[in-house]
Every structure is written in C-alpha cells, then in structure tokens.
Structure 1
C-alpha cells in the first residue's frame, strides 16, 4: 500500500472535509464524550466553510490507490494546523508520511521550530515525533470546553 502525497486542489475540499468529520467522530469515547466530539466537528457539515479554509492554506493530501485518505497543513511560522487521517487508514503510516513532509518543508524554509495544539489522540503521535508539551489548554468550541496541549519541537 503506497502512500502518495500531493498538493491540495479545490476539488478535494468535499473529501477532505469528510475525512476531518470521520476522523473526529471515530475517536474512542474514553478520550472525548459525544458532546465534545460534536462540538469539535459540529453537524450539519458546513462544506463551504471548509472549502474556504482549505483554499486559504497550503494543504498536502495523502492518497492511497488514487483516493484521498488524509491531509495536513502548516502555517508559515511552523504551526501545524491539521493532520487528519480517515479512520479506515489510521495506523498505516499516513499521518507519519504527512508529518515527514511537513518537517521537511519546515527545514527547507529555514524554520527552527514546529508547534501544534494536540488532542488527547494526537498527543502520543507528536511525542513520538519529538515534540514536548509546553502547556495544557482549555478551548471552547460551540459552548463545550475541550482539552488540548500546546506542543513544540525544536528543529536542529
């Protein structure tokens, strides 16, 4: 199963939005309650809103057999906006391939650090990549408080 990375195209917006909602709504209940999951990825899905968000970022898309299965984006200062993988393709190297691309891009652009706000689920992934926790955060989404962690990695 080969993972192919490519740049986002506007035609990807619908599929990437579905990947986001799928990955959030597939999170194990021991990490987030249904109320928290619904606040994080609110229904009904606002595809136009997500298309505008994707169009405003430099997004990398991961494909397997020609199907988009994950995506990632990073701000110019090295803040990682998104790394999401469809639940059917998790634990198959998709997020790792996307992260490797982000770090290579950051190094090529001369950045000295990466940062991210990681969820309960994402925190162990980023720790394996060499990130350290700087702070625990409470974020309000749609009237519900969610916990995440500000994490950082210094690039040598």
Structure 2
C-alpha cells in the first residue's frame, strides 16, 4: 500500500525517533533484509521484512530479540496490520480491539494486541 511506503520520508525527518527505541537490523548479503524496534515500555513499534526476504524466519528472529530486550517488561503491545495478525497470534499476542486509524488521509484497519510475559 502506497501510504506505508510514503511513511519512509516522514520517519527520515524525525531525527530522534530511532534514538528513542531499541532497534535491530537483519542483514543478508550486505543488504538490509528487515528491522524492528521496541520502546522502553514494551511497545513494539516496527517489525518489517523486505518482500525479497520473507518466509525465511527473519521476522521471528527479530521479534524474539525485541521481546527479550528488557527483562523488566512484563507486557508487550503492538498495533498489528491485518496481514501480521496471525504472526502475532502464534506468538501469544491477544487482540484487545480492532480499530480503524487514519494515515495520510487513508483509513486503515488494524489491531491493538497485547502479550503478557511470564
């Protein structure tokens, strides 16, 4: 969806955005295959794998690292796309509510999901 690809330019203008998050990058053959980040409160903000690297468990590896980054966090949250919902459900996330958000004038359905850590 074009609205997501346009977000790249918005993020590039936010100098402190990535500095405020724990971010990890997956690299394969000197190319970025994917990345993910999480804030200090357990909000999983981004989890992205390039289309050429999908179905290689990269999202799983990234998410494993992000979920374990801070042992003091007892609860994780994510705003999941419809496409990623089943990925997060398999990881133990539960839907809190379905919502529609507006992004650059486009309404997008997503899910607020939560996972309790033991």
Larger strand proportion of the pair: 2
Is residue 103 from structure 1 mapped to residue 79 from structure 2 by the alignment?
no
Q: How far apart are 1:139 and its partner, in Å? A: 0.4
- Aligned pairs for 1:1-156 (under 5 A) are 37-42=1-6, 46=9, 48-49=12-13, 52-106=16-70, 108=71, 110-156=72-118
Matched positions, count: 117
Q: In the aligned structure 2, how far is the partner of 1:99 from the partner of 1:79?
A: 12
After superposition, what is the alpha-carbon deviation per residue over 1:7-42, rounded to whole angstroms, capped at 9, x for unaligned? xxxxxxxxxxxxxxxxxxxxxxxxxxxxxx222332
Q: In the aligned structure 2, how far is the partner of 1:141 from the partner of 1:112?
A: 30
Q: In the aligned structure 2, how far is the partner of 1:94 from the partner of 1:134?
A: 26
Q: In the aligned structure 1, how far is the partner of 2:54 from the partner of 2:13?
A: 25
- Describe the SS at the equivalent of 1:147: strand
Q: How far apart are 1:155 and its partner, in Å? A: 0.3
Give unmatched runs, 5+ long, in structure 1. 1-36
Q: In the aligned structure 2, how far is the partner of 1:56 from the partner of 1:104?
A: 17
Give unmatched runs, 5+ long, in structure 2. none
TM-score, reference length from structure 2: 0.89
Q: In the aligned structure 1, how far is the partner of 2:3 from the partner of 2:65?
A: 30
Q: In the aligned structure 1, how far is the partner of 2:96 from the partner of 2:114?
A: 7
Structure number with greater Rg is 1
TM-score, reference length from structure 1: 0.68
